[in-house]
Amino acid sequence: MTLLTQTGQTTEQPRRVRAARSRQSIGAVLAVVAALAIRLQPAIGQLDGVGRSAVAVMALTVILWVTDVLNAGITALLALGLLIIAGVPSSVALSGFATGAFWILVCVLFFGTAMDKTGLARRISYRILLVFPPTYTGILIAFMLIGFVLTMGVPSMTVRTAIMVPIAFALVQAIDLPLPSRGAALIVLGAFEMAVLPGCAVLTGSLFGPFIAGLFANAGLPITWFEYARVMALPTVIWCGLVVAANVVVMRPPAMSSLSRQVVREQLRQLGALSRGELMTAIVIASAVVAWAAQPWHRVPPEAIGMIALAALFAGRVLVPGEIGPGIPWALAIFVGGMLSLTTVMTTYRINGWLGSYIVPAVQPFVDSPFLLVVAISVAVAAMRFVDPVGFLTIAAFFLPLAGFVANRGVPPLVLAAIILLPIHVFWFNYQNIWIVMTEGISRRSAYTDADRLKLASAFFGVTILALWIGVAYWRAIGIL
């Protein structure tokens, strides 16, 4: 039996490698063909030659991402290099790296590193888990609270997933649930959702936040941490609560026989007493969050707040100079910087206007009814995610053409950003969501089946539209819609 298993694994691995290489080769060819076909068009709307080249480069980039030909960060660098060759000035092609949004991103990624390194994030998680009742609902509510608490100090959804999903999988094993099973699927996928979704509540809660700040800057629109939270925080809390309730109803796992909290207590005991590093990290990050929230009053640029807080973490020796390189995923940071640059290219060469010639007419029949507008944009965003596995181009493609159009009809840009942002987290297929890929890796694809994921993903999408409808009522109640 052991020999057969080992042999099966030995033959399976090369098969997967061959399949991946075949997909990458096909993807590379399709990307080049699509880019050439677009560039050779005699005319694309009112775009000039550089604009047509930029659209071709974007098409090439999306196909390379979908087929995973190169690392996402390297693909972004390739796109920027090709844009410069095509005639886009370096000051425009590389503009994303000079924005405050990019440097806020760098700072908050280091915040997550500090919380993970010192053990503060795990300590908070274990303490919360011990408070809630040992039921499926209790566990999911605990993970929801953990997600919101960690969002304030761990703005990377990747880091939060890396913290929370292993805890969830350990709980599944401690309860001795069958693998896969509805109960295991509920806990592990619920932890994934609660690691990711709370990041929408505040501007620094996820990688999407700084990107949205960059979009607002490109569009000449004001945005503050406080105003973003005023629009997004309560709808996000309601959204997450509805997701928890829907997950329990949809999965209907058999009653949990018992849950020993011993595994949680043991992990907490191993962390020991609160360390100086944890305390220092908590003080610095809490101070930065308060300063961001108070930014409308003191007017200190948010990127400056992040930089000073990051310097304090290094000055306090929570982080050391040797961690500047490996401390954060620089490929991911470069990728986001590249996406910010692409949005500048889109506005500079009026690509957003060309996209708007297709998107605006499709949305126009629904714009006078926010409830119908929510459905129309949510469906369109979810459809776009089948060809945009990272989501940033989807946000830009919808926000830039629609921001002015819907604002003239009473829908503020922040509300539009919310309508685009919430449904972007779909996960019907694993390639649509990098954090579901992480979850499958951490749980060794053993906690749930594809059918379980599809069931919860469908429930997620329905609940997202419901949460946005509730958001419409909330935005009207506070007078911004």
Biggest CA-to-CA distance, the chain: 69
CB atoms within 10 A of CB 38: 18
pLDDT tops 70 at residue 321: yes
Residue with tokens 């849950």: 259
Give pLDDT, residue 331: 80
Cβ atoms of 75 and 278 within 8 Å: the answer is no
Q: Which amino acid is at 120?
A: L
Helix (H, G, I), strand (E, B) or coil at 110: helix
Using CA atoms of 190, 192, 195, 198 in order, give the dihedral in degrees to the nearest 10: -60
Q: Using an 8 Å Cβ cutoff, are 335 and 207 in contact?
A: no
Q: Could you report the per-residue pLDDT of 327-348, keeping only the tens digit for each?
A: 887 887 888 788 888 888 888 8
Q: Name the percent of the chain lying above pLDDT 90.
A: 44
Helix axes 182-196, 434-442, angle to 10 degrees: 140
- Count Cβ atoms below 10 Å from residue 54 Cβ, excluding itself: 28
The alpha-helical segments, DSSP class H, found in 328-369 are 330-348, 351-363
| 413 touches 407 (CB < 8 A) | yes
Tell which residue, 418, 374, 381, has the closest CA to residue 398. Answer: 381
Count of Cβ atoms closer than 10 Å to residue 122 Cβ: 21
The string of DSSP letters for 359-412 reads HHHHHGGGTT-HHHHHHHHHHHHHHHTTT-SSSHHHHHHHHHHHHHHHHTTT--
- Which amino acid is residue 456, in one-letter code? L
Q: Across the chain, what does the average pLDDT equal?
A: 86
| pLDDT of res. 62 | 82
Residue pair 100/60 in contact (Cβ under 8 Å)? The answer is no
Reply yes or no on whether the pLDDT at 141 is more than 70. Answer: yes
Nearest CA-CA partner of 466 in 249, 226, 251:
249
Domain ranges for the chain, please list them. Answer: 94-318+350-477
Place of tokens 């609902």: 137
417-438: average pLDDT? 86
Evaluate if residue 91 carries a pLDDT over 70: yes
117 vs 245 pLDDT, higher one: 245
* Whether the predicted pLDDT of 258 surpasses 60: no
Residue 3 has pLDDT above 60, yes or no: no
Q: Is the dihedral of CA 425, 427, 432, 437 positive or negative?
A: positive
Output the pLDDT for position 64: 87
pLDDT in tens, 396-407: 889 988 998 999
What confidence score (pLDDT) does residue 1 get?
A: 34
- Three-state DSSP class for 480? coil
Residue with tokens 């649930």: 177
User: Looking at per-residue confidence, does 28 or 347 come out higher?
Assistant: 28
Whether the per-residue pLDDT at 154 is higher than 60: the answer is yes
Residue 389's pLDDT is what?
A: 63
Return d(Cα 132, Cα 143) in angstroms, integer.
10
Give the residue-averaged pLDDT of 473-481. Answer: 95
